[in-house]
Every structure is written in structure tokens, then in C-alpha cells.
């Protein structure tokens, strides 16, 4: 049986390299996406904003709901909503089902940012396919689906990063 970190070729790979490479791949995609978004008229976006806009969702949400979805306090969610509102990505409106509550909804600009982001992610994935080949990218995605637990797919990943 091989020792930990030993590869079939006999070379040893340090265990910390895998998470660093995964993070660097993530970071390279996110950084390129944000360069593209800036060129498309969204120069003020930050990675955390995408998570927050996803937490708002198509139907809108209260600050408490956004906080729960992001894994942050209602107060922290409120600060993020204020920032997004100031940038024109969301608006606060009266909740039609409960006049005591305010809903946070995406504006046309907020929807536009999400659409441009989705297009950018598709283009960046296509670039990885061009460089690595479709089979290798699909295999990498499938391998990550096997290794990453479903519980890891949460919007609160933004909490790992500073705004």
C-alpha cells in the first residue's frame, strides 16, 4: 500500500496542493468573470454580491430569509442589502402578503447582472473545455461531484470571503 501523498509514478505530492489548486482554479474563474462584468457595465460587483443576489431569488426575500440562506445574521444581511440597493441591484418593497414586512427584490439591473454572470460562467467553462478537452472537464466535474458532499453546495460560501 502506498504512503499518503504517494502517486503511482512514485513522486510525492504534498496534501495541501489539492485544495490550493482547487481554490486557485475557482479564483481564476471568478477574477476573470469580474473583469468581464466590469467591461459589461458592472464595475462595482464583488464575488459576495452574486451569492447575495442568489439568496434574494426570483421571488424576493426578507432580510431574515436572506440571512438564513447566506448563513449570516439578519443585521449582516441588512448591510449587504443596503449596499446592493445603493448599487441598484435590489429594491425594498412592501410584502403583498404582510404589510408589516419588506421584501427585497431584484431590479432589472440585478437580473441583468445574474444573466451576464451566467453567460460569463458558460464562456469560461467553454475556455477550459477548449484548453483541456471536453472529456477531461466532464471527468473533473464528475469526480468533484463524487468527492464533494451535497451539503457543501450552500450560498453561505460568501461568508468565507470579505466583501
Q: Are 70 and 77 in contact (CB under 8 A)?
A: yes
**pTM for this predicted structure:** 0.81
Residues 158, 52, 45: CA angle, nearest 5 degrees: 85
Q: H helices then E strands: how many in the chain?
A: 6, 2
Residues whose CB falls within 8 Å of the CB of residue 137, separated by 6 or more in sequence, listed in order: 125, 128, 129
Q: Looking at residue 60, what DSSP letter applies?
A: -
What is the chain's pLDDT, residue by residue, as a tens digit (163 residues)? 445 555 666 688 899 999 999 999 999 999 999 999 999 999 999 988 998 999 999 999 999 999 999 888 889 999 999 999 999 999 999 988 888 889 999 999 999 999 999 999 999 999 999 999 999 999 999 999 999 888 766 655 544 444 4
Amino acid at each position: 500500500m502506498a504512503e499518503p501523498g504517494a502517486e503511482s509514478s512514485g513522486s510525492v505530492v504534498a496534501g495541501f496542493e489539492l485544495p490550493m489548486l482547487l481554490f486557485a482554479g475557482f479564483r481564476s474563474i471568478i477574477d476573470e468573470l469580474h473583469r468581464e462584468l466590469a467591461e459589461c457595465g458592472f464595475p462595482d460587483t464583488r464575488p459576495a454580491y452574486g451569492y447575495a443576489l442568489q439568496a434574494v431569488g426570483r421571488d424576493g426575500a426578507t432580510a431574515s430569509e436572506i440571512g438564513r440562506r447566506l448563513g449570516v445574521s439578519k443585521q449582516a444581511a441588512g448591510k449587504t442589502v443596503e449596499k446592493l440597493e445603493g448599487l441598484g441591484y435590489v429594491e425594498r418593497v412592501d410584502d403583498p402578503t404582510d404589510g408589516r414586512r419588506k421584501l427585497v427584490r431584484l431590479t432589472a439591473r440585478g437580473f441583468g447582472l445574474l444573466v451576464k454572470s451566467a453567460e460569463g460562467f458558460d464562456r469560461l467553462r467553454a475556455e477550459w473545455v477548449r484548453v483541456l478537452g471536453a472529456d477531461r472537464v466532464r471527468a473533473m466535474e464528475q469526480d468533484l461531484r463524487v468527492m464533494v458532499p451535497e451539503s457543501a453546495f450552500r450560498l453561505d460560501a460568501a461568508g468565507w470571503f470579505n466583501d
